[in-house]
Amino acid sequence: DIQMTQSPSSLSASVGDRVTITCQASQDISNYLSWYQQKPGKTPKLLIYDASNLETGVPSRFSGSGSGTDFTFTISSLQPEDIATYYCQQYDNLPYTFGPGTKLEIK
Amino acid sequence: EVQLVESGGGLVQPGGSLRLSCAASGFTVSSNYMSWVRQAPGKGLEWVSVIYSGGSTYYADSVKGRFTISRDNSKNTLYLQMNSLRAEDTAVYYCARARPYFDLWGRGTLVTVSS
């Protein structure tokens, strides 16, 4: 199975800050990586697919990059509504696997 | 409106069975890959199973042999039959459309396995 790691596990930042989360796969997954946002008590929401493609309707302050084993998720200017846990997920091979999540808080 | 609505969760004793349903609207289940993803209380997301448009099915090792994914094309509904349930199966179960990334999620249904 492909293992996914994320760092940091939690993050506190101020409104307007640039926030970066990294995700690493245990083997090459090309660009078969997605990012999800899950607000407390809510359903996960797709933000990014194929490592860097923004899902329709998602604000442009969210972006993703990377390929192979190393990936980055960025919020260019943190907004209060971005408080959530963020997960990466690989879909190169079954079983699909998620990262453990990064909990983002406002400072 | 394109949406997924799960049902069928509840409290069940260890060793018991439960069948979850996921009714789709606005798109055709049989033309898509469909998955179940679960989330234990306070934990992260765990993929459980997928059914491909051609009918092939795959499972996480943690549920293989105990869970069965299926669909009813006439009802445009996805199912998850869960047998031999264990305490560690306690979670919110989401159905999701798989592209194969998960672009559409239901609100989830809570399954609690406890005596």
Among the listed residues B80, B77, B87, the one whose alpha carbon sits nearest the alpha carbon of residue B112: B87
Instruction: List pLDDT tens digits, range A4-46.
Output: 999 999 999 999 999 999 999 999 999 999 999 999 999 999 9
Tokens of A55: 């899902």
Query: Could you tell me if B2 and B63 are in contact, meaning their C-beta atoms sit under 8 angstroms apart?
Result: no
Distance from the A48 Cα atom to the nearest Cα atom in chain B, whole angstroms = 9
Distance from the B81 Cα atom to the nearest Cα atom in chain A, whole angstroms = 19
DSSP character at residue B29: G
| Mean pLDDT score across all residues of chain A | 97
pLDDT per residue rounded down to tens, chain B (115 residues): 999 999 999 999 999 999 999 999 999 999 999 999 999 999 999 999 999 999 999 999 999 999 999 999 999 999 999 999 999 999 999 999 999 999 999 999 999 999 9
CB contact under 8 A, B100 and A95: no
Task: Tell me the H-state helices in B1-115.
Answer: none
